[in-house]
Amino acid sequence: MVTGGAGFIGSHLTRRLLDAGHEVLVVDNFYSGTRSNIEDLHGHPRFELLRHDVTFPLYVEVDEIYHLACPASPVFYQRDPVQTTKTCVHGSINVLGLAKRTGAKVLLASTSEVYGDPAVHPQEESYWGNVNPIGIRSCYDEGKRCAETLFFDYHRQHGLRIKVARIFNTYGPYMAPDDGRVVSNFVVQALTGKALTIYGDGSQTRSFCYVDDLVDGLVRLMDSADDVTGPINLGNPGEFTMLELAERVTELVGGGEFRREPLPPDDPVRRQPDISQARDVLGWEPKVALAEGLDRTVQYFRGRLDVP
Ligand code: NAD
Ligand code: UDP
Ligand code: UDP
């Protein structure tokens, strides 16, 4: 079962699992994902789609759960912040209850946002983070922190087999063009001849992981030994300022006009994963460099937006 399987990462993961021979049940309420992301899978003999909001109970028989359901872009998760917290907390309780009843292994797509605006750099899993509990990002940050708490308490209290992945900024084909995240924004803006919107002075950093690499890490984590619970960072350590990213995109696509916009409150100043654990425990590290991943992403959006 893949909750959030109609979203950006979930649609890639679903294809990967089908290719590996699994039966896949996608559960999604289309809050930030779309049917079109998985349109090509309809009719596949091992694929099933259920429209369902994970904040409500769900009774199905499964043996592995990838729990990805949750809007991930600030624009989407801040549009209905109460629903975001409910999705993180009630959604995780229902998925954990389902795993408890069925004995399924369950993986949480957590996030580097649990580190907040980090005082430790790069971020390693032992760092507890620096999160504002009452800001506009809190519905997501604290929601995911509580989801992690629930996963570890179901593990300790009920012996559930859990896996917690802390995912760092991931990008690639099937991001929604209006998703609001920086890579999709810059690529869509450049392709449609608009100025690239730089929030603040553009000196804040992020580390961008291509989606194929990330999915590979999620599958390795799910397949790891039962004593590997995480939390484990999955991301690409290559760190870039938003100005550098904007320059990379315009080198690929053309254009080059930038427009400054205010920096949103609580926007983390820097972010870079320490992936020593993923290397040691999962034998995983990203392979796709930013230039190559951006190129593939640009190709995808060219087709999707029908621009030359
Ligand atoms: P996305 O918004 O494209 O996908 C999320 C999917 O979950 C969507 O299809 C959405 O409709 C679905 N969903 C949301 N609320 C739901 C609910 N209540 N019930 C059922 N379905 C629901 O985002 P994504 O980038 O694919 O992220 C997937 C997961 O990975 C999320 O949990 C996110 O927090 C996590 N993550 C992503 C990134 C990233 O950079 N992409 C980074 C860190 C963590
Ligand atoms: N739940 C679910 N599917 C199941 C089993 C449980 O959605 O197959 C939900 C159920 O509604 C409950 C939640 O998961 O509210 C937590 O289940 P758990 O067994 O941990 O708690 P309890 O039922 O004892 O409150
Ligand atoms: N950002 C930007 N222009 C945009 C969208 C985002 O400069 O059009 C910045 C944003 O302020 C943040 C970084 O890019 O510093 C990454 O933003 P995103 O929403 O992609 O991810 P997150 O902040 O959740 O890591």
Judge whether residue 256 has pLDDT over 90: no
The number of the ligand nearest the C-alpha atom of 198 reads 3
105-109, 176-180, 292-296: which has the minimum mean pLDDT? 176-180
Residue 185 CB less than 6 A away from ligand 3: yes
Judge whether residue 49 has pLDDT over 90: yes
> Which of 1, 2, 9 for a ligand 1 pocket mutation test, highest count of atoms within 8 Å of Cβ?
9
pLDDT grade, residue 255 (50/70/90)? Answer: confident
pLDDT value of position 308: 82
Residue closest via CA to ligand 3's atom 3 equals 198
Residue 74 CB less than 6 A away from ligand 3: yes
Measured in Å, residue 8 CA sits from the centre of ligand 1 at: 7
Q: Give percent above pLDDT 90 in the chain.
A: 98
What one-character DSSP code corresponds to residue 70?
S
Structure pTM? 0.98
> Which of 175, 182, 196, 250 for a ligand 3 pocket mutation test, highest count of atoms within 8 Å of Cβ?
182
pLDDT value of position 54: 98
- Angle formed at CA 2 by CA 218 and CA 306, multiple of 5 degrees: 85
Q: What is the mean pLDDT of the chain?
A: 97
140 is catalytic: yes
Helix (H, G, I), strand (E, B) or coil at 166: strand
Measured in Å, residue 223 CA sits from the centre of ligand 3 at: 32
pLDDT value of position 68: 98
Judge whether residue 31 has pLDDT over 90: yes
Q: Which atom of ligand 2 is nearest to the CA of 102?
A: 8
pLDDT value of position 122: 98
pLDDT value of position 32: 97
pLDDT grade, residue 137 (50/70/90)? Answer: very high
Judge whether residue 67 has pLDDT over 90: yes
> Which of 52, 94, 157 for a ligand 2 pocket mutation test, highest count of atoms within 8 Å of Cβ?
94
Given 140, 154, 174, 210, the catalytic residue: 140
Measured in Å, residue 106 CA sits from the centre of ligand 3 at: 29
Sign of torsion over alpha carbons 233, 236, 237, 239: negative
Domain boundaries, the chain: 2-305
The number of the ligand nearest the C-alpha atom of 259 reads 3
For 170-181, the pLDDT digits (tens) are 999 999 999 999
Judge whether residue 1 has pLDDT over 90: yes
CB 162 within 8 A of CB 152: yes
β-strand pairing of 239-241 with 205-207:
antiparallel
Measured in Å, residue 99 CA sits from the centre of ligand 2 at: 9
d(CA 110, CA 229): 13
What one-character DSSP code corresponds to residue 273?
B
pLDDT grade, residue 263 (50/70/90)? Answer: very high
Q: For the residues of 101-147, what is the DSSP string, one character each?
A: HHT-EEEEEEEGGGGBS-SSSSB-TT---B--TTSTTHHHHHHHHHH
- Mean pLDDT on 55-64: 98
Which CATH number applies to 2-305?
A: 3.40.50.720
